[in-house]
Amino acid sequence: MLISPAYAQAAGGAGGGIEAFLPLILIFIVFYFLMIRPQQKRAKEHKAMLEAVRRGDNIVTNGGILGKVTKVENDTELSVEIAKDIVVKVRRDMIAHVTSKTEPAKGEDADKGEEKTEQAGGLKKLFGGKKD
């Protein structure tokens, strides 16, 4: 007696094919626009940044090492000065950011002059000196 009504309640038609997948399709579309597309944009910007690295740029590697590019060896390697007279080779794809873009250095004297000017300017700002 109770079995017949139970079968009658459980018997239902199979849901439509596309309506069952519609929520999954909508979730995938939202996922694409919120996660995949922005990641592709960031990857494209990072690739452009890596291609634009040149001598004289200050960089940060993925390992957190700060340095200045002294020589572009080839398409995949750079020589980076991490301290005075300490130069290491770094793979181009291991650069996390370029902290300051500069024109290629003409010589060490020009670099030293720029550093002195930057230090003097920083001290003037710190101690409230007059601007030039």
> What are 61-75's pLDDT values in tens digits?
999 999 999 998 888
Rounded to two decimals, the pTM is 0.55
In-domain check, residue 52: yes
Residue 84 structural domain: 48-118
Does a structural domain hold residue 6?
Answer: no
Instruction: Please indicate, yes or no, if residue 105 is contained in any of the structural domains.
Output: yes
What are the angstrom distances between the C-alpha of 54 and each of 38, 67, 75, 87, 108? 27, 13, 11, 15, 16
How many structural domains does the chain have? 1
Is residue 31 domain-resident?
no
- Tell me the three state secondary structure of residue 81: strand
Residue 51 has pLDDT above 60, yes or no: yes
The CATH number of whichever domain residue 84 belongs to comes to: 2.30.30
